[in-house]
Structure formats: structure tokens, C-alpha cells
Chain A
Amino acid sequence: DGGITQSPKYLFRKEGQNVTLSCEQNLNHDAMYWYRQDPGQGLRLIYYSQIVNDFQKGDIAEGYSVSREKKESFPLTVTSAQKNPTAFYLCASSMIEGQSGELFFGEGSRLTVL
């Protein structure tokens, strides 16, 4: 079945360590997104990419980095520069044209900094 796969589902990190969250989609979607979710704050956009080898900062990109070397993959690295990285991270994808811009989401990755 087509969908978006995020891994790992749960991740623990010590302060000062970088960590990479994986996101893979087999929906043949052009655009991919990373959102961060904190209690009571809804979803905030970290980075997005509309095409391979190109990506743009969202509203809270500081302390994060991404790459888009393949259409189906959009990994997110949470660096040690991110001051408060404990959160639930959601990856999503969409077609650029058509389908009214609907986003399809993965199951999420919960990162906890110890």
C-alpha cells in the first residue's frame, strides 16, 4: 500500500548529540514537509521541499537540517543547536498540482532529549 513511513517511532538522545529522523514515501508525491508538534501549539513547519535537491526553511528551521537527494526521501536532522528538541515530529507529502493541496502524514517520531 502507498503511504509515508517514518522511523524510528521513538528516539532518545543525550544533549549535544545530533539525530536523524527518516521519512520515506511511495506515493510519487513531489512535495515533502516536516512539522513539529508541541502540546497546545499545533503544528509548526520546519522545512519543506517541492523538488529534488531543493528545499526551503519553514517557520522554525533553526537547529534543523534536511536533504532531498531522492524524490521519495526527506530525512530531518535535529542538531545540537536546537535548544528544545523534545517534541513529536511529523513528516508529510503532497502533490504540487491537483488534489487541492491535501497533505498525507506519516505516523510521527517522538524525540526525547535526556
Chain B
Amino acid sequence: QKEVEQNSGPLSVPEGAIASLNCTYSDRGSQSFFWYRQYSGKSPELIMFIYSNGDKEDGRFTAQLNKASQYVSLLIRDSQPSDSATYLCAVIRSYNTDKLIFGTGTRLQVFP
């Protein structure tokens, strides 16, 4: 079992729709969760981080965390073609507070 799992996609949504990206993790004691966006040929860009159960909203982005289910998601409202990218979920393990463990990413395609 991979430590951080994501569906590779592509996830295709029409412009203006809500894109829902999901991520599961195996270390039950994980405390910190991050979503990065990576455009092709570029380095990752931090979108959001979440530490507590529940929802965290920032503009069009909402991160949702459910530690009991070991599940973290990212919702993108009013999706735009410029949101088309690979979204990486990353987790900091409970026993090592520095290292990010990345999922393989979900490719999102927003079509006009």
C-alpha cells in the first residue's frame, strides 16, 4: 500500500463546475496535509494546508480532512481552464515532522 494515494486521472470537468480531488493516506498518526498544484514542466506551488478535521476554505479552494477515514480532499469551485494541472497531495508523517510524502498526483483538465 502506498503511503499517499491519489487517482492519477485525468479528471475532466467543464468550466464553472466543481472539481473534487481525493487523497488517502496510510499513516493514521499523520498530522499535516498539503495540496500542491504543478503545471507541466514547472515546480509545485503550495495551494493549501490543513491540520484539523473539517473544512478549510481559501477563495475558490476548500480542503477537507477526515482523520478517522484517513482521507483528505480538495474542492475547486468555479473551475477555470487555468486550473488544468496536476494536483499533488502531500502528508507529513507522524514520526518525522519534516519530510513531505507525496502522492503521484491527479491530473485535472478543465474544458471550456
B is bound to A: no
